[in-house]
């Protein structure tokens, strides 16, 4: 009812406006002649396009040129800044690498999923330039915060406040995080929460004691993968406040594969692992047809690795959830040579052939390498054959996603 | 039939089938609003459109009067909220039909006529005409330098040298895109 009244009022107002307009026209027409003063800029607009057509023209231009067109005149600049919100964006759904160089400049590189460089921008003044860039480009796919101070508060804040959607699925932090605070990291995770499924701190250095905790990681929502590891197995991470809450939240991860690989996490307890295993085994899964003898679909695999985690050792895990691990579990002692020294690898595996899934728990660092996501080289030449228009065609693997929905 | 009058002195009037003239949303709304008046007898003055431009408009709407109506897409304007889909709608591909290609005043000396036409299409809210005209202008501008565009669009560089230098720095990053 209220809606209708509002609608009626609006139509009424529009009617009044039109009546006035027509009356205005009619007044000016005397004996079939137009009289009275001409509106402001009346003659000018014959040689210049008004804002709306100009805006429409801009929508048809590539982002690079739209940015350069800011140079044309103040009016054009103003119009571009005003309308950049609604303008089509350059789509970048491959890999985006943020890196800072010695001069303190932020370098942003875009790559396709085959690690071919598509474009690169060097931002001297992070604050202004990054916010400018975010007006024109979609960021999707995988984001690397790489060498140097690449994930500083300034950068993360710009990404968080950008009005356009940043939709990375994978975040990889491997730079210097000493200029990164809890608040800005958390705000960034909140921003990308609907899209991000995997977060990896691989070889990031100078992580502050309080930076990584359950609530910060939790801000990123449901994850399928989390990895926290230092540069080399020799160096140590600070005390990480990542505990059983984060571990347990991953039980409901995607139904294809998931991983939780951490080192130096003393807050993880054997009790937490038991709770995880119990929940994981009871997790509802699509029932496989018992009579179906063909391809059984994808194996659901879940890997847990606890390396140098004070409270989690083969012995404590055995003690806490030995009964769960008993059946179908292999406690395998593997002796091999790693870097010249003898390493012992203990792992537990739980297989559920009926529902086609497998859970593995290991206590060494060998899985970290398997899950590491390597960034493409920024030094590559830009691949000229690879422009915007080809992006969708050449990368069918991103088609199935809802980027275009 | 509906009569449209140009802003010339004396005005030039054109008689157009109602169906054709209704391609202009502005006029369509006006006619709907004035239902009951005998609009066949009342010429509609168009104070923003001169005779040569109105002639083009009339030619275009008559040619396109039987086109299927364009699919309306609600456009979110000035929406500050972080709507995950608001920035997602890519502009649909606009293809200029053959007839329109010949129709558009595309010679360089007719540039101002083209702008007048787009002005009128904007004012009269004839979106398909505005779209193909803007697409034409965009294709023309595409890949050109700032100076060229300034000249083409009859725009003046009203920046101070300092402002210009600052802006140059500000947009330097776009080179690598």
Region A108-114: what's the mean pLDDT? 85
Tokens for A394, please give them: 């050449």
**pLDDT of B155 strictly over 60:** yes
* A64 CB neighbour count, 10 Å cutoff: 17
Q: Are B167 and B159 spatial neighbours (Cβ–Cβ below 8 Å)?
A: yes
Q: Are A386 and A92 spatial neighbours (Cβ–Cβ below 8 Å)?
A: no
Give tens-digit pLDDT for A140-195: 889 999 988 888 898 898 888 876 668 899 999 998 888 899 999 999 999 999 89
Domain that holds residue B50: 2-65+94-176
Mean pLDDT for chain A?
Answer: 76
Half-sphere exposure of A105 (CA within 13 A, CB side): 11
In a domain, B86, yes or no: no
The DSSP line for chain B is -EEEE-SSSSPPEEEE-HHHHTTSHHHHHHHHHTBTB-TTTSPEE-TT--HHHHHHHHHHHHHHTTSPPPPP-----S--S--TTTTT-PPPPP---HHHHHHS--SGGGHHHHHHHHHHHHHTT-HHHHHHHHHHHHHHHTT--HHHHHHHTT------HHHHHHHHHHTGGGGG-
Cβ of A129 within 8 Å of Cβ of B157? The answer is no
Contacts with B, A 148-187, CB within 8 Å: 163-165, 167
- Whichever domain contains B149, its CATH number is 3.30.710.10
In a domain, B76, yes or no: no
The conformation of residue A122, written as its DSSP 8-state character, comes to E
A18 versus A272: the higher-pLDDT residue is A272
d(CA A22, CA B73): 28
Q: Are B155 and A107 spatial neighbours (Cβ–Cβ below 8 Å)?
A: no
Q: Is the peptide bond before A193 cis (omega within 30 degrees of 0)?
A: no
Cβ of B138 within 8 Å of Cβ of A60? The answer is yes
d(CA A187, CA A166): 13
What residues contact residue A333 under an 8 Å CB cut-off, 6+ apart?
A344, A345, A346
pLDDT at A8: 80
pLDDT at A402: 34
Give tens-digit pLDDT for A265-312: 888 999 999 999 888 888 777 665 555 555 556 678 889 999 888 888
Cβ of A34 within 8 Å of Cβ of B142? The answer is no
Cβ of A165 within 8 Å of Cβ of B149? The answer is no
Contacts with B, A 40-59, CB within 8 Å: 42, 45-50, 52-54, 56-59
Based on the number of CB atoms within 10 Å of its own CB, is A292 exposed (0-12), middle (13-18) or buried (19 or more)?
exposed
Helix (H) or strand (E) run with residue A262 in it: strand A257-263
Cβ of A34 within 8 Å of Cβ of B11? The answer is yes
Tokens for A230, please give them: 């230092």
The conformation of residue A238, written as its DSSP 8-state character, comes to -
Cβ of A165 within 8 Å of Cβ of B116? The answer is no
Give tens-digit pLDDT for B110-123: 888 899 999 999 99
d(CA B81, CA A80): 19
Cβ of A25 within 8 Å of Cβ of B118? The answer is no
**pLDDT of A103 strictly over 90:** no
Record the pTM.
0.69
Tokens 């023209």, residue?
Answer: A57
**pLDDT of A201 strictly over 90:** yes
Region B20-38: what's the mean pLDDT? 86
Provide the percentage of residues in chain A whose pLDDT is more than 90: 13
pLDDT at A295: 55
Enumerate the residues of chain B whose CB falls inside 8 A of the CB of residue A47.
112, 115, 154
pLDDT at A397: 35
Provide the percentage of residues in chain A whose pLDDT is more than 70: 72
Task: Work out the pLDDT band at A317, boundaries 50, 70, 90.
Answer: confident
In a domain, B74, yes or no: no
Q: In whole angstroms, how far apart are CA A300 and each of A285, A292, A346, A360, B8?
A: 10, 18, 21, 11, 76
**pLDDT of B52 strictly over 70:** yes
Which residue from A196, A78, A204, A59 is spatially nearest to A136, judged by alpha carbons? A59
In degrees and rounded to multiples of 5, residue B69 shows phi and psi of -60, 140
In a domain, B46, yes or no: yes
**pLDDT of A24 strictly over 70:** no
Tokens 């609600």, residue?
Answer: B74
Enumerate the residues of chain A whose CB falls inside 8 A of the CB of residue B173.
121-123, 129, 132-133
Helix (H, G, I), strand (E, B) or coil at A46: helix
B161 touches chain A (CB under 8 A): no
In a domain, B80, yes or no: no
Q: Find residue A138's DSSP bridge partners.
A: A91
Provide the percentage of residues in chain B whose pLDDT is more than 70: 86
Q: In whole angstroms, how far apart are CA A158 and each of A168, A192, A347, A378, B177?
A: 15, 13, 43, 22, 19
In a domain, B70, yes or no: no
Enumerate the residues of chain B whose CB falls inside 8 A of the CB of residue A70.
167, 170-171
Give how many domains chain B has, as a whole number.
1
In a domain, B164, yes or no: yes
Q: In whole angstroms, how far apart are CA A135 and each of A77, A121, A229?
A: 13, 14, 34
Based on the number of CB atoms within 10 Å of its own CB, is A331 exposed (0-12), middle (13-18) or buried (19 or more)?
middle
In degrees and rounded to multiples of 5, residue A144 shows phi and psi of -110, 125
d(CA A49, CA B112): 10
In a domain, B172, yes or no: yes
What residues contact residue B78 under an 8 Å CB cut-off, 6+ apart?
A85
Q: What's the farthest any 2 CA atoms get from each other in chain B?
A: 61
Give tens-digit pLDDT for A365-405: 878 888 888 888 766 566 555 444 433 333 333 333 333 33
Region A316-330: what's the mean pLDDT? 71
Contacts with A, B 3-32, CB within 8 Å: 5, 7-11, 29-30
Computed from CA positions of residues A385, A387, A393, A398, in that sequence, does the dihedral angle turn out positive or negative?
A: positive
Give tens-digit pLDDT for B73-111: 555 444 433 333 434 445 567 889 999 989 998 887 788
Tokens for A178, please give them: 């000493």
Region A221-234: what's the mean pLDDT? 79
User: What are the contacts of A393-402 at 24+ separation with CB within 8 A?
Assistant: A394/A112, A395/A93, A395/A94, A395/A112, A395/A113, A397/A113, A398/A93, A398/A113, A398/A140, A398/A141, A401/A93
């Amino acid at each position: 009812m209220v809606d209708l009244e509002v609608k009626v009022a609006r139509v009424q107002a529009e009617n009044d406006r039109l009546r006035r307009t027509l009356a205005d026209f009619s007044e000016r027409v005397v004996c079939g002649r137009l009289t009275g003063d001409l509106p402001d800029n009346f003659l000018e607009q014959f040689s210049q396009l008004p804002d709306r057509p100009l805006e429409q023209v801009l929508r048809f231009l590539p982002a690079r040129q739209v940015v350069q067109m800011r140079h044309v005149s103040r009016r054009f600049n103003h119009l571009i800044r005003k309308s950049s919100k609604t303008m089509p964006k350059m789509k970048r759904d491959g890999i985006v690498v943020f890196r800072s160089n010695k001069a303190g400049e932020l370098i942003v590189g875009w790559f396709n999923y085959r690690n071919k460089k598509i474009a690169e921008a060097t931002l001297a003044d992070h604050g202004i330039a990054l916010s400018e860039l975010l007006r024109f480009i979609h960021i999707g796919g995988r984001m690397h915060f790489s060498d140097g101070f690449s994930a500083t508060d300034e950068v993360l804040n710009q990404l968080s406040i950008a009005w356009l959607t940043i939709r990375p699925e994978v975040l990889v932090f491997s730079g210097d995080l000493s200029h990164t605070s809890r608040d800005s990291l958390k705000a960034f995770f909140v921003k990308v929460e609907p899209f991000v499924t995997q977060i990896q701190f691989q070889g990031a250095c100078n992580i502050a004691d309080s930076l990584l905790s359950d609530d910060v990681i939790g801000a990123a929502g449901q994850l399928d993968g989390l990895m926290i590891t230092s540069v080399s197995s020799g160096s140590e991470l600070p005390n990480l406040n990542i505990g059983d809450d984060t571990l347990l939240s991953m039980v409901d991860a995607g139904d294809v594969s998931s991983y939780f690989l951490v080192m130096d996490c003393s807050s993880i307890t054997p009790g937490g692992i038991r709770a995880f295993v119990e929940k994981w085994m009871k997790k509802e899964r699509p029932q496989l047809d018992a009579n179906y003898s063909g391809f059984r679909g994808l194996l659901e695999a879940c890997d847990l690795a606890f390396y140098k985690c004070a409270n989690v050792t083969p012995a404590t895990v055995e003690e806490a959830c030995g009964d769960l691990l008993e059946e179908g579990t292999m406690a395998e002692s593997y002796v091999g040579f790693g870097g010249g020294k003898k390493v012992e690898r203990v792992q537990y595996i739980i297989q559920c052939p009926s529902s086609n899934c497998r859970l593995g728990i290991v206590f060494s660092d060998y899985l970290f390498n398997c899950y590491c996501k390597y960034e493409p080289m920024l030094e590559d030449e830009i691949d000229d054959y690879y422009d915007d228009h080809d992006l969708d065609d050449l990368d069918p693997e991103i088609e199935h996603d809802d980027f275009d929905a | 039939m509906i009569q449209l009058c140009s802003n010339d002195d004396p005005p030039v009037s054109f008689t157009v089938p109602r169906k054709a003239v209704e391609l202009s949303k502005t006029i369509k709304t006006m006619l709907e609003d004035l239902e009951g008046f005998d609009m066949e007898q009342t010429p509609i003055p168009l104070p923003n459109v001169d005779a040569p431009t109105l002639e083009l408009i009339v030619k275009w709407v008559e040619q396109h009067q039987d086109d299927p109506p364009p699919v309306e897409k609600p456009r979110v304007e000035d929406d500050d909220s972080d709507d995950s889909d608001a920035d997602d709608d890519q502009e649909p591909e606009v293809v200029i039909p053959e007839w329109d290609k010949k129709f558009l005043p595309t010679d360089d000396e007719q540039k101002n006529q083209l702008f007048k036409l787009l002005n009128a299409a904007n004012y009269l809210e004839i979106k398909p005409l505005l779209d193909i005209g803007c697409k034409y202008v965009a294709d023309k501008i595409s890949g050109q330098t700032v100076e060229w565009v300034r000249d083409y669009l009859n725009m003046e560089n009203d920046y101070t040298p300092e402002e210009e230098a600052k802006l140059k720095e500000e947009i330097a990053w776009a080179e690598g895109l």
